[in-house]
Structure 1
Amino acid sequence: RSITHELLDFARGSTPALTEFDIHDVIRDSISFLKPELKHTSIEIDTQFMPGPLLMKSDPKLLEQVFVNFITNAIHAIRSKGEDKGYIRIKTLSINSDVEISFEDSGTGITEENQKKIFQLFFSTKAPGKGTGLGLSISQNIVKKLGGTITLDSKPGVGTNFTVRLPLS
């Protein structure tokens, strides 16, 4: 069996390791993980967090995978615009018993046609050999497993906003 199928089985079948944590710490860890990739760019990461800690009970390791994927895709979208300048804005918001984390970028945006397919397994807008088409599919599986949803708002040439909504407990 291929590594791809093993990864997907893991994302689908593994039981989340639920623990209480501050979602802001997981976002900061995700950004730190990608510092080397951002080093030679003028891409600014702007965090707009709710004041104070935002405690939730979920699986921080799985969420870090999701967040790293969104940030990586945003970096690639900004770079594929032909510029190393741009922004990634990450916001948190508590709504009733949920948390919303949005990842907005100033990248290329996603066409309406591609928005319909963006979460399909092996679908990629990247050049052949540059993307696997696994990231968003696995991210969606993880978020669903954790009881959440992902919404997408994108305008070609302007940018994209992915919003993850998850229960706080």
Structure 2
Amino acid sequence: MAQGSAAGSVKQVLDPLRFRGALGLFATGVTVVTASHPEAGLIGITANSFSSVSLDPPLVLFSIANTARSLSAFLEAPGFCVNVLRKDQRALSVRFSRQGNNKLGGNKWEGVDYTPGRFGAPILPNTMAAFDCLHHAQYEGGDHRIIVGRVVDMEHNVEGEPLLFFGGRYRALGEEIG
């Protein structure tokens, strides 16, 4: 590890592929983050960069690449919804992880059922949980934008198992330990 007197004085060059591989060793859940933009229409991306931030007020975050075609629409939409996927919803994850035919991936929505949330963001059916959020803050985070939302409504169902991502592959829960 490189050491220095202050974070700004530490200079270490990491191989991006090696760094990504190491990050992939942290198991995450899989979400589809959705929004409704007045001009762009429905947008959605697959993200495993979802995290809770605060219980009071109820805040969550996700991050999106600065190069994502849907970035400006996500930033301009009044809110968004984080849909936590079940292990049998892998196809939804794959669908929303790809770019669409138009600038913002409009064809991703063909045949996808949803219910509009408070700010129009699609709530996908039968997910483990859905967090309907109002934009709270956003931050620059290197090559990504960190978007924080205030949860204004939510639904969840503890039955079933989540879809997981680990080591570059989809996974399911294993046996319980301890």
Instruction: Give the number of the structure whose residues are more often strand, by fraction.
Output: 2
Whose Rg is larger? 2
Quick check: TM above 0.5? no
TM-score computed with the length of structure 1 as normaliser:
0.31
Instruction: Give the number of the structure whose residues are more often helix, by fraction.
Output: 1
TM-score computed with the length of structure 2 as normaliser:
0.30
